[in-house]
Chains A and B, each alone.
Chain A
Amino acid sequence: GQNIDQPTEMTATEGAIVQINCTYQTSGFNGLFWYQQHAGEAPTFLSYNVLDGLEEKGRFSSFLSRSKGYSYLLLKELQMKDSASYLCAVTDSNYQLIWGAGTKLIIKP
């Protein structure tokens, strides 16, 4: 079967750095997405990785290792507004997005 694993919840301190991991087992791989979802709102796109390595976009970076079936989202200089759920999703061989259950990130002052 297809499976995406990510931690259910993480806590971090304002101004710090946090890394959210995602491991996947899917039938084929055509890219990995990270989305942010604030409580009561729709998911919004954060990043996309299709090749191995690090993609940096401001305070957010995303890393992919296809051989290990592994990705992480790195958030730097955490702000209170970063409190949200972070969803990992993989495009499989049929170009369907397979979604993880999401990681709820709690930022404390």
Chain B
Amino acid sequence: IAGITQAPTSQILAAGRRMTLRCTQDMRHNAMYWYRQDLGLGLRLIHYSNTAGTTGKGEVPDGYSVSRANTDDFPLTLASAVPSQTSVYFCASSDSPAYNEQFFGPGTRLTVL
């Protein structure tokens, strides 16, 4: 693999179900990010990790959790999905939080019914 991969590409989920979106990068970047993108609202940061073993909350963290056990993987979990979490989710990474040119994965389109 080269760059960032996300899985699944798309998913339809029943409300109340638990779901984990996967993200893996092979660029050995220190920082990783999860965004959601909704029409007219742009990209909104959910959670971030500046380095393996640390995580932080972004603008819209409620209902989501993350972990960063190693450099490459940064999964996003929805503990109990709600329809307002219907969105396109992008994972991104950058070499350094200080100069954060971010590289994006292809996105996961999630629909919660």
Contact = CB atoms under 8 A, between A and B. Distances in A.
Contacts of A101: 40-42
Nearest to B6: A42
A100 B101 contact: no
A66 B44 CA distance: 24
B92 to A, nearest CB: 8
B45 A42 contact: no
Contacts of A8: 40
Interface residues of B, number: 20
A30 B40 contact: no
The size bracket of the interface on A is 20 to 34
A42 B107 contact: yes
A42 B104 contact: yes
A45 B101 contact: yes
B43 A99 contact: yes
A97 B41 contact: no
Interface in A3-51: 8, 30-31, 33, 41-45, 48
Interface string B75-112: 00000000000000010000001111111111100000
A97 B45 contact: yes
A87 interface: yes
Contacts of B99: 31
B74 interface: no
Nearest to A42: B104
Contact of A96 (B48, B104, B105, B106): B48
A97 B40 contact: no
B104 A43 contact: yes
Interface in A53-109: 87, 89, 91, 95-97, 99-102
Given A95-B97, A96-B58, A99-B43, 16 more contacts: A8-B40, A31-B99, A41-B106, A43-B90, A43-B102, A43-B104, A44-B104, A45-B102, A48-B101, A87-B43, A95-B100, A97-B45, A99-B42, A99-B44, A101-B41, A101-B42
10 contacts: A8-B40, A31-B99, A41-B107, A42-B106, A43-B43, A43-B90, A45-B101, A48-B101, A91-B100, A95-B97
